[in-house]
Amino acid sequence: MTVVRLDDKGRLCAPGSDAPVRPERLPEHLARVLRIPDRATDIYVYVHGWQTEPGSAVRSAGRLLRQAKELAAARPEAYAGLSGGYRPWCVVVCWPSSSLPSLAGYRRIRDRAHAMSAPGTGHAAHVLGHLLGYLDEKRADPADPKVLANRHGQYLHLVGHSFGGRFLCEAVQWAAAPPRGPRVLGWSNAVDPLRPFTVDSALVFQMAAPRNSFDELFPALFARDGRAAAPLRGPLTLTHSRWDRATGFWHLRAESAPGIGHSGVGTAPVPQYSTRLLTVEEPYALDVLDHRIVNVDAGWRFRGGRAGRLLPAGAHSDFHHPESAHLLLSLSALSR
């Protein structure tokens, strides 16, 4: 596992320091700190959400992938696409997300997350775009366009929680824009627009964003009006739970409407599909997840328990279950 840190402006911090890395030094810095082993089969970029310290973010990502590895080992027949092995490696992106558990605190982190990614002022999308570009830059054009691995046979997946999903959408959207500065994600710089570049899957648990974000905040994620789409080739899968108070109660008061993590995606420029979170004994069929946007109702599982009923955020962070790992693992298997 590799950890990278962003400051409150979205700039990448040097290891062991709060000093930001200069933009022109980003490729050199990433080449030094991101040492992904060739034996890894799947690379995950994990971005945490509200009220998460770096140590907690690392434990969260580690727990999710540990559960996924255990499922892959215990029930290999359920994940046929992983017959060649499953050896995940994770890059954890940490950012300053702590605040008072109050409406003012929620608004503060909402505004910070927006400022960190906003064009002209924030650097998060630019930095994450470079990070994803570094992970993908050695990806070869396979002879079979259905094979989306890089030259080491690795697949690239995005996993976010809460505001972390907003950062990831901004980063992938940034890559769809005309080239700006050093090379980042390959799609927008490719000579052949049909090059099978991909982010193979994106999974966001309890996204802290307005329900109509894919129409209003992330218009370049999907192709429309003659514009090229961002390089998100696999499905964008988002969980929601009515027990999520952060994107229900707090989001309702901060934004005058519930968020995606509470009620699912509202309007979007592409067709959506809705399903429920499955138990680990129930396999996900390809036709369930093979859609541009997949809304997953996890309300039966993401409930927060007795303690969650007393927490200001409710079930917002209650996604550490085997069923979550099952969904993540199924997306990875079906990417093959």
- The pTM of the whole model exceeds 0.85: yes
User: Taking residues 23-47, what's their average pLDDT?
Assistant: 87
Picking from 311, 327, 170, the residue whose alpha carbon sits closest to that of residue 240 is 327
User: Taking residues 73-82, what's their average pLDDT?
Assistant: 93
| Rounded Cα gap, residues 29 and 210, in angstroms | 34
Q: Can you give the pLDDT at residue 148?
A: 41
| Rounded Cα gap, residues 262 and 270, in angstroms | 20
* Count of alpha carbons within 13 angstroms of residue 267, beta-carbon side: 6
DSSP 13: B
Comparing 259 with 176, the larger pLDDT belongs to: 259
| Rounded Cα gap, residues 103 and 287, in angstroms | 40
| Rounded Cα gap, residues 23 and 317, in angstroms | 33
Q: Can you give the pLDDT at residue 302?
A: 96
- Sorted by where each begins, the domain ranges of the chain are 2-334
Cα-to-chain-centroid distance, residue 323: 17
CA dihedral 70, 75, 81, 83 (to 10 degrees): 80
Average pLDDT of the residues of the chain: 83
Model confidence at 153: pLDDT above 80: no
Give residue 200's pLDDT band: very low, low, confident or very high (50, 70, 90).
confident
User: Taking residues 245-260, what's their average pLDDT?
Assistant: 86
| Rounded Cα gap, residues 264 and 276, in angstroms | 11
First-to-last CA distance in the chain? 23
Model confidence at 145: pLDDT above 50: no
Helices H / strands E in the chain, number of each: 11, 8
Give residue 32's pLDDT band: very low, low, confident or very high (50, 70, 90).
confident
Give residue 254's pLDDT band: very low, low, confident or very high (50, 70, 90).
confident
Model confidence at 17: pLDDT above 60: yes
User: Taking residues 47-72, what's their average pLDDT?
Assistant: 94
CA dihedral 61, 91, 183, 86 (to 10 degrees): -90
Q: Can you give the pLDDT at residue 176?
A: 61
Residue 81, classed as helix, strand or coil, is: helix
Comparing 52 with 178, the larger pLDDT belongs to: 52
User: Taking residues 280-292, what's their average pLDDT?
Assistant: 94
User: Taking residues 201-222, what's their average pLDDT?
Assistant: 91
Q: Can you give the pLDDT at residue 284?
A: 96
Tokens of 223: 């192709």
Q: Can you give the pLDDT at residue 195?
A: 36
Which of 142-146, 158-162, 255-259 is most confident?
158-162
Model confidence at 266: pLDDT above 60: yes
In whole angstroms, how far apart are CA 113 and each of 98, 107, 122, 208? Answer: 11, 10, 9, 10
CA dihedral 89, 23, 202, 60 (to 10 degrees): 50
| Rounded Cα gap, residues 277 and 286, in angstroms | 15
Picking from 201, 231, 237, the residue whose alpha carbon sits closest to that of residue 45 is 201
CA dihedral 305, 60, 247, 240 (to 10 degrees): -80
Comparing 273 with 126, the larger pLDDT belongs to: 273
Cα-to-chain-centroid distance, residue 59: 17
Comparing 311 with 112, the larger pLDDT belongs to: 112
For the chain, give the percent of residues with pLDDT over 70.
83
Give residue 71's pLDDT band: very low, low, confident or very high (50, 70, 90).
very high
Residue 38, classed as helix, strand or coil, is: coil
| Rounded Cα gap, residues 194 and 108, in angstroms | 41
Give residue 225's pLDDT band: very low, low, confident or very high (50, 70, 90).
low
Q: Residues 65, 186, 182, CA angle at the centre, nearest 5°? A: 105
**Range in 25-39, 116-130, 191-205 the model is least confident about:** 191-205
